[in-house]
């Protein structure tokens, strides 16, 4: 295992998180100790990508300094050491979401993981994988069901799968405030539904969807369930076995890890029946000039040279979150999220998307400023050292449904203080006066 520094903030962590502990946590994140445009950095864009603690940065550096070698390909000392840390990372991530290591597939990000599934399903639709893969095959008359609040990464791959197979893509609508219309789910899920894919938590609305309710509906009709957990695994205690989904995806860079690594979870019996997507070295047993035979999962989905240093760094990121305690992280972000919404709702001319104050949400809030474009809002905040996300957040259909083109989004994480939120709210209150919009 890599030798990295123990985060100062975690040596005596206990009880509920508070601002004093978060100030200590911030010391583990070098990037937060800087000024932007003459102001202390207030980073409220973790919904897009999170920052890295020193233990994560050091883990990746240690790999290149001490263990740099290909995995599963050599018997020399460095190759063995690299393989050990690579597979240890798989075990760490599997334990974090309560599944088996062989059910964890490394990908470049969650987008690739969803594309892997969609293209593997289309391969099954062409007859690849034989009888074992028939349950993944789609044809005209079959249906793929998503929701109207999906990130493009959990929409476009299914659009493409529908195009390639002749299946129909349908969606569960949201109401005027963005709430998923569960009553419509009962009508839309049927024996024709082969795949139900939806987000655990919305990256725009902050909504936490009822996984148990939706999964139970799918189970009654034999549909496969795919969970986009990009905004839940970093922020909530997530037990994938208890959630009873068939597949799930999440990204390392949203949970204190590096870019370039993501995770596909799949039930072992499903992964081993699923035909591969990428092919080449490291995922085969026997190759002739006419055909190839493939390794069991997860290796059958990990062709080529792998994301070894990134896996090692993700291992460190998960350990950081485990030591902090996901129950504690969730409770702190719930407090910050409510503070965001309550403060925004008190500012004239602000429309907050998603649940109102007092209703459960993850620690983010997307909002529209009447009379001011979101890009101008973002620039105004950036001038004060406050980093937020602007645009449609890769959810154009959702914005269109809510009568908007774009919004501004503030998203928190375990290194944000209440002072960060208050500085943001003070700045937002000044947006409309600065642009001369009538109050």
Residues belonging to the active site: 394
Please check whether residue 247 is in contact with residue 301, taking contact to mean a CB–CB distance below 8 angstroms.
Answer: no
The H-or-E segment that residue 387 falls in is: strand 386-387
Q: Is the dihedral of CA 8, 9, 11, 12 positive or negative?
A: positive
Give the bridge partners for 42, in sequence order. 386
| CA-based max dimension of the chain | 73
- CA-based angle 284:286:288, to the nearest 5? 115
Q: How many CB atoms lie within 10 A of CB 269?
A: 12
Q: Which DSSP string corresponds to 134-183? A: GGG---TT-EEEEETT--GGGTHHHHHHHHHH-PEEEEE-B-TTS-B-HH
The total number of residues shown for the chain amounts to 439
Three-state DSSP at 351 gives strand
Contacts by 339-345 with C-beta closer than 8 Å and gap 24+? Answer: 339/418, 339/421, 339/422, 340/364, 340/365, 340/410, 340/412, 340/421, 340/424, 340/425, 341/365, 343/421, 343/422, 343/425, 343/428, 344/425, 344/428
CA distance 171 to 188: 8
Three-state DSSP at 416 gives coil
Please check whether residue 152 is in contact with residue 399, taking contact to mean a CB–CB distance below 8 angstroms.
Answer: no
CA distance 96 to 79: 26
Residue 174 has phi, psi (to 5 degrees) of -110, 160
């Amino acid at each position: 295992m890599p030798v990295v520094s123990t985060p100062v903030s975690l040596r005596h962590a206990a009880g509920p998180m508070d601002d004093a502990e978060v100030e200590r946590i911030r010391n583990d994140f070098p990037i937060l100790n800087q000024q932007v445009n003459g102001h202390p950095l207030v980073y409220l864009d973790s919904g897009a990508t999170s920052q890295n603690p020193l233990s994560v940065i050091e883990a990746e550096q240690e790999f290149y300094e001490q263990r740099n070698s290909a995995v599963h390909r050599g018997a020399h000392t460095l190759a063995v050491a690299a393989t050990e840390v690579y597979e240890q990372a798989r075990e760490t991530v599997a334990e974090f979401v309560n599944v088996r290591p062989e059910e964890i597939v490394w990908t470049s990000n969650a987008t690739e993981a969803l594309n892997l599934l969609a293209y593997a399903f289309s391969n099954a639709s062409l007859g690849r994988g034989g009888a074992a893969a028939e349950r993944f095959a789609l044809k005209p008359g079959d249906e793929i069901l998503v929701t109207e609040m999906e990130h493009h990464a959990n929409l476009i791959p299914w659009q493409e799968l529908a195009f390639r197979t002749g299946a129909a893509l349908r969606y569960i609508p949201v109401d005027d405030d963005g709430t998923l219309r569960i009553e419509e789910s009962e009508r839309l899920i049927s024996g024709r539904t082969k795949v139900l894919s939806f987000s655990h938590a919305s990256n725009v609305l902050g909504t936490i969807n009822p996984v148990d309710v939706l999964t139970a509906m799918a189970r009654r009709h034999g549909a496969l369930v795919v969970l986009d957990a990009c905004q839940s695994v970093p922020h909530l205690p997530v037990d994938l076995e208890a959630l009873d989904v068939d597949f799930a995806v999440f990204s390392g860079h949203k949970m204190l890890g590096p870019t370039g690594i993501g995770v596909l979870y799949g039930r072992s019996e499903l992964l081993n029946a699923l035909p591969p997507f990428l092919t080449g070295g490291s995922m085969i047993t026997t190759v002739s000039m006419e055909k190839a035979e493939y390794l069991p999962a997860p290796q059958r989905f990990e062709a080529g040279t792998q994301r070894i240093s990134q896996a090692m760094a993700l291992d460190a990121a998960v350990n950081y979150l485990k030591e902090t305690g996901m129950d504690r992280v969730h409770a702190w972000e719930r407090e910050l999220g409510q503070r965001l919404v309550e403060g925004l709702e008190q500012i004239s001319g602000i429309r907050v998307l998603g649940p109102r104050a007092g209703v459960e949400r993850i620690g983010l809030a997307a909002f529209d400023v009447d009379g001011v474009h979101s890009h101008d809002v973002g620039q105004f905040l950036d001038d004060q050292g406050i980093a937020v996300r602007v645009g449609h957040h890769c959810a154009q259909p959702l914005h269109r449904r809510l009568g908007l083109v774009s919004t501004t989004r503030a998203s928190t994480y375990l290194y944000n203080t209440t002072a960060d939120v208050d500085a943001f709210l003070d700045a937002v209150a000044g947006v409309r006066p600065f642009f001369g919009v009538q109050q």
